[in-house]
Structures are given as structure tokens and as C-alpha cells.
Amino acid sequence: MRDTEIERLLRREDEHYLNVIDLIAASNAPVADVRDNRDWGVAQFRSAEGHVGRKPYAGTGNFDAIERLTALRARTLFGAEHANVQPVSGSLANLAAYRALMRPGDTLLSMSMASGGHLSHGHRKHLVTDLFRVVHYDVDTESGLLRYDEIREIAERERPKVLVAGYSAYPRAVDFALFAKIAQEVGARLVADISHIAGLVAAGLHDNPCDQPGTVVTTSVEKTLRGTRGGIVLCSEELRPAVDSAVFPGLQSSVGLAGLISLAETLYDAATPEFRAYQQRVVGNARALAGHLLDGGLDLVSGGTDTHLLVIDLTRTGLSGQEAERRLQDLGILSNRNLLPGDPRPPFQASGLRLGTPTVTSRGFDADDIRELAGIVLEAVLAERWDSAPAALRARTTALRDKPRADDALADLAPLAAAAPAVADAR
């Protein structure tokens, strides 16, 4: 069988993706062992449902052994008593956590999307909003920072069952100990969603919410943790039955073995000293990028970053996030428009632009590369006119992209990159 139709589309995506500079904060480029499923034999298609040791199918002993090892690695990496490694995504890990801790109609207190929260924290069209009474807190519009006193006041007033901390576009460190204290004071449980910062937490660069007793920690796998798609819920032994049954049979049935193997290898990778050094470079690159952009005259939400991401406040430039995103895409640089706290523009346009360094760092970008990258971003965002990408700026971007880098995690895919257009979708 030769399915040329899908093959052609797949090669097109390879050519596209391997020819762009990806600054999307939620992306990453996993090492080859995590990606390569050619050696995975029957795992490429095997799936089964149920918990370890209790699968209602014959012949799942080896499957259980793989799942047990994967969960052990997750527990060890994050220092949790229990890990459920079955959620197929971070969003479903969150749904399972909520379901384990709440009944329909209970109150969930989380950050709004405009301030940096996630869809699965209670966007008005998300299932979560149908199931629970969602109340939001926001960051301070001026400083862009969390206001813990105000969050405490809202929690005292609204008496949530679950308080959510951990975000998609918050560039600063989160005080999980303080969040846990607020949750305890109002009789709520803390759900700490570390989807974006899981790699930084695993590397010991950010506070680990697993250290806070009674907290349920959720994460996706494909962001800074540098895996392929997946989700994890971490909790205490006490919460294990509620969390496990919320995942199965509460939310999902079968789990694919390939996803578990990839996750096991992701967690193996994340426990190495090289991974820790990588995360330090990710944060160093984000800080450097933030510094250059500030020096060049741009505003950043919260004035900088402690993480792998930053959000440019485009208000003074007059550009929308959508327009800034388009300019960078014209050059072959991927980013995404992002709402600002109190943003006057609708979400589709937005007034912010979110940039992240996980992927470029995985692809070997060093301090010089980040300086050049910042220079290109500044020229594009501050240009008075933009009909199409200026040739000189395009040439600089291509030179930066094509600079040989020994430690490019995607180097093995280079043959697929062949000369091809840098931009996927024409407008």
C-alpha cells in the first residue's frame, strides 16, 4: 500500500516545519528517542483500558509493566506519591482532577484567559463551564502580576471547591506555597496546572507544587517537558482512588501503548543532567530575548520573564497581535497573538504577542542567535509599513535558521527539510 495523498501532505509539513523558526511557547522539539516509534513493535497499535493490575482484558501483563514503570518515573521526577499517566492530553488531566475533587455545580476559581489562563480552566464554551460554577481572578492590569491578596478575598467570598493555579501565558514564577495556603484557608483543594512549566519544575528551576500537601498537580507533556502529546495527574496516595476513577472509567477508556512508551522515554530524558542544563538554557534564552526586546523599545507584560515565555505588549506600537504574528510568519518565524490583561481588542486580534524559547533552545540557539533573533523581531514589529517581508530581513532570518548547530534535536530530520517555502499557508 502506498498512500501518496497523505504522504505528500506529510512531506509538505516536514518541509514547512523544518524551515521555520518556532517561537510558539507551547511547542518543543523532543530528542530522537522520544519521537522515534519505528522500534516500538506492537506498541505502535496496542491499546487497552483499565488501571495497572486491573485491566479487564486478558494478556495485558507487559502493558501493565510498561505503565507501572512510566508512572514510577513520573512520581520520582516530581516527587509525588501517585501518578496517573493515562490522560491523553493536559486538558483531560485537568478534567480528571476537577472530577476527582468536585461534584457538578461546585465552584471552580481560576484565572481568566485574558490574564493568561487556559481554556480548560473554564472558558465560557468549555465543558468545564457547563459542569461547574466558574469564577475568575485576573492579574493586575498595570504590573501584569498575580495579586495574591485579591485572590484570597475572592476565594473567601466565593468559597470554591477547587482553586486553579498555573497558566498558559504568565511569564513569572508562581508562588504555589501561597496558593496552597489560600486554598487551605477557604477549604478548597489546589489544582496546580504546570503544563507550561513542567520542564522547569522537573529541573528544579521553579517551585514544585507536588511539595504542597493535598495539591493535585496536572501537566501536559509536549511543552517544556519535551515529550509528545500526553497528560499526567500527580497526587497523594489519599487522592489516588478519586483521581484514578475520574480518569477511568470517569473520562477515558483505552490508552495507547505508544503514548506510554513515548512518555516513559520523555521522563527518562527529563531525569538527566543534560535536561536540567537544557532548561537553564531555555530560561537564559528567554531572559536574554526579553532584555533585547526591552532595549529595542518594546513593552513586555510584567516587564520581563522568569520562565520560557514572554508576552510583548503591542499597545504603544498600534499593531494588533494578529498583525505582528503575520509579519513574523512572513519571515518564517512562528509565534502567536495573545490577549493582554484588560485587552480592548477581541481574542482573534488581541494586543499581545507570545514568544517562547523551548524549541529554538532544543534546536541549539545560543546567546548570539538570540540577539540576532531579537533584532529581527524588533525590525519586523517596529517597521512603519509592511506589505511583504523586506528581502534583507528575510535573508537575515534564513541565515539564522540555516546556521549549522551541532546540538539541534531535529538534526536527524534534516534530509526532509530540503529547499522549500518557509511559509505554510498563503493568505
Ligand X SMILES: *Cc1c(COP(=O)(O)O)cnc(C)c1O
Q: How far is the CB of 220 from ligand X (least distance, A)?
A: 3
Q: How many CA atoms lie within 13 A of 183 on its CB side?
A: 27
Pick between residue 165 and residue 203 the one whose CB is nearest to ligand X: 165
List the x/- string, 126-165, binding to ligand X by CB under 6 A. Answer: ----------------------------------------
Piece in contact with ligand X (CB under 6 A), picked from 87-95, 253-261, 318-326, 385-393: 87-95
Site for ligand X in 25-44 (CB under 6 A): 26
The gap from C-alpha 291 to its chain's centroid, in whole angstroms, comes to 22
Edge to edge, the sheet with strand 352-356 lists 299-300, 309-313, 352-356, 336-338
Among candidates 248, 243, 199, which has minimal Cα distance to 222?
199
Among candidates 264, 289, 267, which has minimal Cα distance to 358?
289
Pick between residue 189 and residue 401 the one whose CB is nearest to ligand X: 189
# residues contacting ligand X (CB under 6 A): 15
Pick between residue 152 and residue 354 the one whose CB is nearest to ligand X: 354
**82 phi/psi in degrees, rounded to 5:** -140, 145
Rule CB under 6 A: choose which of 19, 70, 110, 220 binds ligand X: 220
Q: How far is the CB of 219 from ligand X (least distance, A)?
A: 8
Cα separations in angstroms, 407 against 29, 275, 418: 12, 13, 19
Extended beta strands in 236-286, E state: 254-256
Whole-angstrom distance, CA of residue 311 vs CA of residue 286: 11
Rule CB under 6 A: choose which of 91, 320, 322, 329 binds ligand X: 91
**Could you write out the three-class secondary structure of 312-340?**
EECHHHCCCHHHHHHHHHHHCEECEEECC
Q: How far is the CB of 94 from ligand X (least distance, A)?
A: 6
Rule CB under 6 A: choose which of 55, 73, 82, 118 binds ligand X: 118
Pick between residue 120 and residue 305 the one whose CB is nearest to ligand X: 120
Pick between residue 167 and residue 176 the one whose CB is nearest to ligand X: 167
Whole-angstrom distance, CA of residue 426 vs CA of residue 406: 32
166 sits near ligand X (criterion: CB under 6 A): yes
167 sits near ligand X (criterion: CB under 6 A): yes
Rule CB under 6 A: choose which of 40, 64, 89, 181 binds ligand X: 89
Whole-angstrom distance, CA of residue 383 vs CA of residue 397: 16
Nearest-CB residue for ligand X: 90
- The residues that touch ligand X, with contacts defined as CB under 6 A, are 26, 89-91, 94, 118, 120, 166-168, 193, 195-196, 220, 231
